[in-house]
A and B are shown apart, each in its own frame.
Chain A
Amino acid sequence: MTTAQWLMIIVVSVLSGIDRTAMAQTMLSRPLVCASLTGLLLGIFPAAFQLGLMLELLWLMRLPVGATIAPDDTQAAIGAVVLVKLFACQLPEHQLGLIVFIGVIVVVMAEVGKCWDVWARHINERLFLNAVRGLDRSCTHSLVVNHYAGLCVFACAALISLSFIVGGGSAILWGGMRYMGSMATLFTLNGQWLVCVFVLVGVAATLKVLQVKHTVPLFVGGYSLTCILLEIL
């Protein structure tokens, strides 16, 4: 990867990282969006799009409300795309297997990645106190400075999270690369089905939280209707 590509990854990581909580919440931080964007910048859009689809629904219903902090699926998605870019050339014959393996790695690491989000929020408590102290000195400007300093803290948390995922993931893949060939032979079936497993688990996680009346009839209705439509098309 070139320096320009790394710089673009940093920009995407920071923008999508602050979009998660700190700014606007435009859904740039959704795995499907940021993974696709990263893939587009790195020239591996199809693989990145697939990773986005795999990760999009897994933590969809971990709502960013109140003090709840969801696993960092944003940096996980970006990190996964970077890992694919870094390691795809070493395993060209098992591309889909590699994507699934990286998917599993980042799913585990995303859980750890939220620690940095927690850290950022603790740092912001100090910023709040600084702002109030400034207000005690009749300095209203300190409110603005400390408030927007929080953006930098969230941006740092995003970058640290991405570094952790890319660094940790690279270490695991570098160590495990020699066994990847034999591991891939374990899965004789079409790797596309394994990609579907991620989406199915995401659907299960979503339905678990939605708790809508008549879930089964609605789900089966949607399933049957789409099957019929696909057959007709």
Chain B
Amino acid sequence: MKSMAKDGGISKWRLFRLACRCLFLQSSWNYKHFQGLGWSVALLPEVKAIYAPRHLPQVLKRYCKYFNTNTFLAPAVAAATLCLEVDQSQGRNVVMEPHTYPDAVMAPVAAVGDALFWGGIRPFLSCLAVALGAFGFCWSPIVLIVLFNLPAAIFRVVGTWLGYQHGASVVMLIQRWRLADAAILLKRCTVVVCGGLCAVLMHQGQLGLLWSTIVSVLVIVSLFAAIVCLRKGVPIVVVLLGIIATVAMVDKLLL
């Protein structure tokens, strides 16, 4: 499955530009075709370089349809698709039609990428940034931005290069990276960081050991009560107002 179309193919600079165009993949996101238009625009300059102008509309129409995948792994899929296009245009055998390749891989790639970036990295870094901020570290927004965009940029740029090098088999390479396991590990770390965040919030310094223990138990109990309420479908606004009202009432009764 490995591509043989490197000579006379797409240069590294053009691949980098492809990765940059994929930043705008969702600019025209819509309910019917999701990233479809962005996908065809991302591929457009390279497709133009491969096909004669009279064939272009026909080729582009094949890409102008429903498409939806993870935005951080999309450049790898785009580069692999272009690799197949180059191979086909040079008369080599390809494992599948280039325009059917994205249909086949977009869902599994989306599942892996979304689990890692949206389900793993983002919650972990957000909780970490809030914990640092609550501790008094004002640079925490910068930490969030830098630490999130570092892996994102690596996956985008290196993914494009690997996608073009490996062609259709890049999905197997992504599978070998065990990103789903990394996502689960990050989720566990997020829970630990959430615990740390609550401790930072409750650590007022002036409370004695007895009051600290009582407050800790109250916080943990009320937190899990809030989780139960949210699981039962109570809107977050109602839970928020309920806890604020409870805090005010307890405060009035005690003080």
Contact = CB atoms under 8 A, between A and B. Distances in A.
B141 A33 contact: yes
A41 to B, nearest CB: 13
Contacts of A148: 24, 27-28
Contacts of B9: none
Contacts of B141: 30, 32-33, 36-37, 52
- By CB atoms of chain B within 10 A, which of A53, A136, A221 has the most? A53
A56 B126 contact: yes
A122 B30 contact: yes
Contacts of B230: 204-205, 208
B140 A222 contact: no
A5 interface: no
Interface stretch (B78-86, B94-102, B241-249): B241-249
B154 interface: no
Interface residues of B, number: 86
B190 to A, nearest CB: 6
B87 interface: no
A44 interface: no
A131 interface: yes
Given A60-B126, A111-B237, A127-B30, A26 B148 contact: yes
Majority secondary structure of chain B interface residues (helix, strand, loop or mixed): helix
Given A65-B118, A208-B230, A150 B37 contact: yes
B126 A57 contact: yes
Contacts of B34: 66-67
Interface stretch (A84-92, A137-145, A161-169): A137-145
Interface string A46-64: 0001001100111111011
Contacts of B26: 21-23, 25
Contacts of B236: 58-59, 107, 201, 205
B188 A218 contact: yes
Interface string B6-47: 000000000000000001101111111110111011001000
26 contacts: A23-B26, A25-B152, A26-B152, A27-B148, A58-B240, A67-B31, A122-B31, A128-B37, A131-B64, A136-B57, A147-B27, A148-B28, A151-B28, A188-B255, A194-B244, A200-B223, A203-B194, A203-B223, A204-B226, A206-B194, A210-B123, A218-B195, A219-B192, A222-B193, A224-B195, A227-B203
